Chains A and B, each alone.
Chain A
Amino acid sequence: MPNAPPRAPLFLEGTPSVAGTPRHNSVARRAIGLSTPRRQTPLFAPGTSSPLPFPSSSPNKNATPTRVRRLNYDIPGSQDSEPLAFPSSPAVATPRNRRGDIHSSLSITPTSAVARSRRQNGLPHDDLRSDASHMSIPASSVPNLSAPAVPSDDEPDEIRAIWGTTVNLGETMKTFREFLRGFKIKYRIAYDRERGLRTRVLSSPEEGEFLLYEGYLRRMRQTGETNLNLDMINLAAYPPSRKLQSQLVKYPQEVIPAMDQVLKDLMLEIAEEDQQAGMEGMRGEEGEEEISEIMGKVYKIRPFGLSSVNMRDLNPSDTDKLVCIKGLVIRATPVIPDMKVAFFRCLTCNHTVQVEIDRGKIDEPARCPRDVCGSVGTMSLVHNRCEFADRQVIRLQETPDAVPDGQTPHTVSLSVYDELVDVSKPGDRLIVTGIFRSVPVRVNPRQRTLKSLFRTFLDVVHIRLGSGDKLGLDRSTRPAGGDRIPGVGGVGGGIDMDDDQENSVERQRRSTKREELEAKLRELSQRPDIYELLARSLAPSIYAMDDVKKGILLQLFGGTNKSIARGGGGGGPRYRGDINVLLVGDPGVSKSQILQYVHKIAPRGVYTSGKGSSAVGLTAYVTRDPDSKQLVLESGALVLSDGGVCCIDEFDKMSDATRSVLHEVMEQQTVSIAKAGIITTLNARTSILAAANPIGSKYNPNETITRNIDLPPTLISRFDLLYLVLDNVDEALDRKLAQHLVALYLEDAPESGNAQDILPLEELSSYISYARSRINPTITEEAGDELVRCYVTLRKAGEDPRSNEKRITATTRQLESMIRLSEAHARMRLSPLVELEDVKEAFRLMREAINTSARDPTTGEIDMGLLDTGIGRQQRKLRADLRRAVLAMLDSAAGGTRGVRWADALAQIEAQSSVRVSPADFQEVIRELEQEGLVKVVGERDRRMIKRVEVA
């Protein structure tokens, strides 16, 4: 394979530098770490300073895992432990900082500073590679460190470059060090501003001067956290480290370990500085302990903040680069112990060798590396001396918004390691930063083919859970105390940059499909005729009925759910934001069609027919209808539409039992199910769109609505909007309707058939989902006043100067409805505030709906009592008259002791009355009287007698 290059972008192996030679003299001076005397000095390039004795105050050795460089078995001359020492060869085996996600061959000797010893030696030496910003370290924290920067002759004596590039690793480390020490929030703000992003206003100039990462490093020390989340935008925002970002993306394998190294150095440095400064918790012994603890830890940089790409767009050129993708966790394996270092022992001479795993493969030594022994095939694996790390394989699937039309979602494998294991659960949405890997797979078991076919996966370095509001994550399902995402340094810059800003930054940075869609929807919402456009698009094939469409449109948007946070009973009551709409009308006025449309548009819409549907349950029964002897299906619907719209056709034909469930659903928004002796309450936060036919299939305009439909008034009153959809034969209208339909259905290019623009179904649907999920409008003061005014107006309409009896034109239910409708209208405009115009439109819709449904046909006046109780004022007055007449009649001679026959009584009353007395009214009055104990009814049916009960 002449043209196959050796090891692709890996660090050059075999050079002495790999052996972890410290690069800076100053670093080298401090490069003692835990280098116990047992440590093999030959590993160091000649000329490095000899290790200083470790401070005696250090905790016991066993508890201090160290980052002594790994044993480089393949370097000739490297001496491993003596064969005889094998059983006890101790610290030697302790590996360097080893990360599962980075399979780098780079190894860097820890450069742990023991400035203390130097200090004791009277050599206060400032190690800081300070840049100018170094000066701005709060003087109080490190008073005696304001020494001038180390001269630049402190350059590494060897140039360690990443293979095949001009990237100088030493340079990189230096830059990163400068970054960590010098980055201030103001840089980020300036950077964002340059890019036209909304930035946070700082409360004081000092805030912008805050050294972000030093703060994080201190916090890490205090909390014992070992991971630092590094926002890569910050790297780009800090002028000296701008180059570092692209280096990190291109060569994460080399750069990240280098960064880890810098991080640890700095941790120690800062700890020492703090100790010197006598910071609280860092004095004397305490500080010593702290420092040695830091010494023993493995620190990791977890970079994030790349703009995410679609997982379909990952291609071979991304191999071994840092990428960021988003997706949905669909499966996660249990924790797998992943071998990091294999431990081999020669069976002949007991010589031991450690081999690191490279890309999932162990290079098993074919022969004993010891020259003296050199026996072939004697190296055997010693399992319990191998090192393992936690590993987990996660399958990440594309989120629905990223999948191209008509395609099925793709999945990628993620390998997560150590702290990131078990951070995410199936169902979580993640934004993942990782290194894109390709590993060869076996192609054919019969012939050994190698490295022809590759599978890809991501070695994850950073996980971020999708935030709740955006992606519909139910926070209550997460463990208390938040998610266990390791690391200090909040995503997006941490504590110091609030979430809101972070979101806006995120939002503007991402350029996914979702973004475009969002922008499009936003733009759409700016149209002045958005309301009309949406209403028109709701059911384009249905002609006219604009107000009905508007009402239903607002129902789809819905008001906001409110709960009163204070107050007893688990956070107080919840007020529903769902708007319920009832359509009553003649058959064949496209009621069902509207329902069908809504069912298609609404998120989680369920369509059911009142006939043969049981409100609850996820199973259904096929039964034989006793009347027709036909098989019918009984199914449940309400639970299925939790969080959506439940469309119920033939609402009036629903069984009473089901309807009673609806009472609960419509006010409490729950459904109680008794099953197997357990009563459970399921959420049914659903708005109901129902359609009902009038009794006798034709609406009688001379009767009140409650008489026209076979529904209890209590249920009717729970609908926010009630529309009467009457079919009036009107030739002109019919012609227009026919024209509309013919154009729509028969023209060859139906799209162009109608000039008026309508939104396609999908767009309308996404507009609604977007508004529902993002917009939660609050009521402005102005709008609040208007609401009050409108409500009073409605109430006042009931005052009648001619009589002292009051018609009810509006109840608090109407007020609530009005609030919900206003909110929905504001939502429709994607406005965060409910404004005057929203209330006005809500009022108009209410008035229109009331006008059609709550008008007393006899007086022509609006009377909400009709809807609330089923009886209007006029009827109440009539009944009161009737009652007096009945009592008078019974008291009169005709009554006698035997009473009056039912039919006779009715006839008599009717003869007296100037208006027609309906038998139903009469019966109702008698029933009332009977309940009050004033009359008594005996006998059955036609032979009923009405008797006056004598009052003693």
Chain B
Amino acid sequence: MTADYKLRALEDPTLVVRELYRTHTSGSFPRFVADHFKKLFESQNAFRRIPILDVARPPESHRDRALVRFRGMVQDTSLSTEMYLSKYADGSCGGWGIYETEGGNSSSARDVNYADLEECSVLWATSVPAESTWCADELDGTGHAQRSLNPRTAVVSQRAHKYPHAQYQHVGVQVKVYDREGIDSYKSTDVVTFVGILSSEPCGLDQISSSPVDVPTLHVLFAQRHPSTVVPRPFPRLQRSGQEERSILSESEQSSALVADNSAQVRDELIAWIAEEALGGDRVAAEWVLLSCIARVQSRNPPLLPPSLVISRFPPPPPVPSTTSSAPVLLPTLATVLQLLLPLAHTLPLSLDTLNKSQFAPESKDEDLHAGVLQLPQGTVLLVTEGGVREGQLLERGIFNVRALQDVMDAQTLAYVFPYSQFSFPTDISCIVLSEGRKSTFFRTDLNVPLRVPTNPDGVAALYKPAEEVKLPSAERLAAFRDLIVGARGGKVQVPETTSEHIQSDFVQERRGNRGLTADDLVRRMRVSKLYALSLHEPTLGVETWQRAKALDDARISAVA
């Protein structure tokens, strides 16, 4: 394919589809289109030339029927399929928003040949919730420069209720998929980059209303799925950093090739940085935060789920002098730090008001699936803060919300509410709860780490310092931190026979001395040790790592008691 041809595809994708139809002979045409465009934009360079649809570049900023790429989370798959006329009387093709406009003749009054009807699936996709800026930049292949152009205009889609966090800026798009092969594999919370033709069409959600509202609609030419780590990183991490993927930061990185840092060192620095910036210097708590960030669902049967962590004794935010009665709740600096480190991180500040009013689990109202706060992509780290909770009554909605989040922590499932039925969907959300008390007010967690920081006003203020005051490490350090965490998230740990033997005899021996030790403790230790090995980027769990992980866990328990 010539560059010229690519350019034409970028300029007028509709024309390309029409042309393809003429050359197409047999087999599924949508499949053919998908393959063609996929091949056309196979190289990363070509792919990055496709204009982006996102908050900074909302649908209105693109011209009608422009080729765009949109990285979104599948929010709703319950929209009815549509039938379109795949072939018009004049032999031209239909679909992808190509409609026959009424000509001078009365042909429109004619009946259609139902044999030419084809089906297309309709989904609703939104901007990826919880996606951090650096992750978006990396995937978009754009630098900070372009982002800063973004005027802070409030971009709110017409259907804000379909985005989990309606108060944030986002884009919501109706996605029409013509290549229906494997259509069932699009599941709620999947992160997918759709490349297609953007236009505006009536919303498929208005089934009953006679005059549906128009919404931005993306006619998909082809789609790319993202792994749960979103931005892939190697595990164990390579000694030499400065990969192609990190090209955004590459300006400052040329010299970093020399740094042959070992993982343990990076890990220590990372813990120190988290402790220093977000946890008032408590490195133990920081280490546990790191382990939580690495955790993900490894298996559902038997359940190897991410352990939920509560950082107890976390002071509530200092009172903010404010003239209004509803003072904004300060977010802990940890939220900012997690955003800097993780591709997907979200902060959920709890208060009685939010619990009673917001909707955690998605709920279908009038056949429109309203998003829930917890409808987050797989692999999100969720920071829950209880600092805003006061005494008061929790209403029914609140209780169901608490239960929904508890279910996510316990079983990693989220029940979507439909009229007269509920459907449980798998989630992969690692939860970190910040609680003022000795344990969480609302949730049972697997791990509890008390924060040990001075509770004087200065100490508290340090925990809640604004994002601007966070001291960023050097760019290559930050990249190394991200490599460590993201790499570990995708890693696997083997357990050699010797370690397995050691663990068993260790347990038996300890039971002899300490009758309080139970199977639960063993299970928890094993989960922690696996995460510990991952955090060190060790592909095998050695006896030494096991011992260190055990010591860490024991220290935690004695601190709680």
Contact = CB atoms under 8 A, between A and B. Distances in A.
A404 B182 CA distance: 12
- The interface centre, meaning the residue of B105, B395, B504 with most chain A CB atoms within 10 A of its CB, is B504
A8 interface: yes
B411 interface: yes
Contacts of B110: 1, 4, 6
A528 interface: no
A445 B393 contact: no
Given A4-B111, A407-B77, A454 B389 contact: no
A3 B508 contact: no
A328 B421 contact: yes
Given A449-B102, A453-B82, A623-B391, A330 B367 contact: yes
B89 interface: yes
Contacts of A403: 423
A320 B389 CA distance: 58
Contacts of B469: none
A495 interface: no
B238 interface: no
A116 interface: no
B352 interface: yes
B302 A619 contact: no
A4 B299 CA distance: 55
Interface residues of B, number: 101
A750 interface: yes
A455 B82 CA distance: 6
B419 A397 contact: yes
Contact of A328 (B99, B352, B420): B420
B472 interface: no
Given A328-B420, A331-B367, A622 B352 contact: yes
Interface stretch (B8-16, B114-122, B244-252): B114-122
Contacts of A735: 504-505, 508
A735 B510 CA distance: 11
B18 to A, nearest CB: 14
- The interface centre, meaning the residue of B386, B389, B399 with most chain A CB atoms within 10 A of its CB, is B399
A407 B187 contact: yes
Contacts of B302: 540-541, 744-745, 750
Interface string B311-348: 00000000000000000000000000000000000000
- The interface centre, meaning the residue of A412, A451, A761 with most chain B CB atoms within 10 A of its CB, is A451
A5 B504 CA distance: 77
Contact of A742 (B207, B392, B503, B515): B503
Given A540-B302, A620-B394, A741-B519, A5 B111 contact: yes
A400 interface: yes
B425 interface: yes
Contacts of A440: 112
Contacts of A746: 495, 500, 503, 526, 530, 541
A656 B79 CA distance: 51
B522 A2 contact: no
A330 B76 CA distance: 17
Contacts of A413: 207-208
Interface in B379-438: 386, 389-396, 398-399, 402, 410-411, 416, 418-421, 423, 425-426, 436-438
B23 interface: no
Contact of A411 (B113, B352, B367): B367
B494 interface: yes
A317 B214 CA distance: 28
Contacts of A931: none
B119 A315 contact: yes
B102 A619 contact: no
A393 B208 CA distance: 8
A443 B389 CA distance: 48
Contacts of A630: 436-438, 441
Contacts of A633: 394, 402, 441-442
B504 A742 contact: yes
B450 to A, nearest CB: 13
A761 B302 CA distance: 9
B264 interface: no
A47 interface: no
Interface string B110-148: 111111011100000000000000000000000000000
B516 interface: yes
Contacts of B423: 400, 403, 408-409
A738 B504 CA distance: 5
B69 to A, nearest CB: 23
A543 interface: yes
Contacts of A2: 89
Interface in B433-453: 436-438, 441-442, 444
B117 A395 contact: no
B167 interface: no
Given A619-B395, A742-B503, A729 B84 contact: no
B78 interface: yes
B111 A8 contact: yes
B174 interface: no
A20 interface: no
A380 interface: no
Interface stretch (A134-142, A589-597, A816-824): A589-597
Given A407-B77, A540-B302, A746-B530, A588 B394 contact: no
A7 B437 CA distance: 74
Nearest to B546: A746
B441 A588 contact: no
Interface in A519-550: 540-543
A8 B391 contact: no
Given A411-B80, A618-B396, A729 B515 contact: yes
A12 interface: no
Interface string B51-91: 00000000000000000000000001111111111000100
B100 A449 contact: yes
Given A411-B80, A746-B495, 8 more contacts: A316-B115, A331-B419, A397-B420, A397-B421, A451-B112, A452-B94, A619-B394, A631-B391
20 contacts: A4-B111, A319-B117, A328-B420, A331-B367, A406-B187, A410-B78, A444-B201, A452-B99, A453-B82, A454-B85, A456-B80, A587-B516, A588-B519, A619-B394, A731-B508, A742-B504, A742-B526, A750-B301, A750-B304, A751-B299
What are the 8 A-B residue pairs with the smallest beta carbon separation, nearest first? A588-B518, A316-B117, A630-B437, A1-B89, A454-B83, A408-B78, A452-B99, A449-B99
